[in-house]
Amino acid sequence: MPEVAETIADELALSAEDRATLLPSGRQRLLYNRVHWAKTYLTKAGLLSSPARGQFTIMQAGKELLASSPPAITRTMLEQYPSFMGFIGGKPDGVAEQTPQPVLGLAPDADTQTPEECIETAHAELMSELRSELLEQIRQQSPVFFEQLIVDLLVAMGYGRSHEDAAKRFGCTGDGGVDGVINEDRLGLDRIYVQAKRYAAHATVGRPDVQSFVGSLVGHGSHKGVFVTTSSFSTQATDYVRHLTQRVILIDGALLADLMIEHGVGVRVSRIIEIKRIDLDFFDPS
């Protein structure tokens, strides 16, 4: 398969960047994934055969299809072969449906996407919807709830000694543009000041707000701060923090939602799908 993938890449004059492109999961090269599934689909349709591990050859049906000079061989085209319909319908080889049924749940561009790509596309859509729902839920809560959410998130990320300690230090300063302070580590060797703004989606945190927060850090003799908002930061605000001597991290709504999902704050697992592959070592007599 690696030899075939490189041969195809040469034939298509793919650039080094194209050849190195990974699936969104970052676990496999897109080129190899697509070549692998092309070979699998053609084999299941009876156009190729695999007489031995790592070997495959064209069948008579494959030669006949090529002789018809099709502009492209697509998944839709392969659905004319009963054995392929049996495969995508979950039937073992040679046990096709009596009447092929349409395949449900395919992405609109399923002809050009491998199963892994379809899964990752669907996952990306679900994640996008989850981010939107998270931010909408947060905006409907009280300021006190939002502060507690920040406490939960920071503790989940490893900051502060405990929830109790973080809660005591957060939401009680209320001076100089600072909403709270939390220990960077469990020993309290350094502290991080936090500003939290629960804004509507259309609102933007500008440079003046961030400058005020930085001024508060200076007043407290601190050089580390985190500014969290449910909306977004202006370009001027993000450019401003890049040139500071203080270390100030801006967390907008999108990043806040991503961190909550990553650390399991405000979300729970709804469904786990296991995808298994053949263990070729198990079948290797050597």
pLDDT digits (tens, 9 = 90+) for 4-42: 999 999 999 999 999 999 887 787 888 998 898 888 889
- Average pLDDT, integer, range 277-282: 81
**Which pLDDT band, with edges at 50, 70 and 90, does 55 fall under?**
confident
- Cite the DSSP H helix spans in 68-114: 75-78, 82-88
Report d(CA 18, CA 20) in Å as an integer: 5
Report d(CA 69, CA 155) in Å as an integer: 62
Among 111-125, 178-192, 212-226, the minimum mean pLDDT is found in: 178-192
* Residue range(s) occupied by CATH 3.40.1350.10 in the chain: 142-262
What pLDDT is attached to residue 101? 38
- CA distances to 56, 90, 256 from 160, rounded to whole Å, are 58, 51, 18
Q: Is residue 106 over pLDDT 50?
A: no
pTM for the model: 0.64
| Mean pLDDT of the residues in the chain | 81
In the CATH hierarchy, which fold is given to the domain comprising 142-262?
Trna Endonuclease; Chain: A, domain 1 (3.40.1350)
Q: How many CB atoms lie within 10 A of CB 108?
A: 8
Q: Is 175 helix (H, G, I), strand (E, B) or coil?
A: strand
Distance of CA 223 to the CA centre of its chain: 32
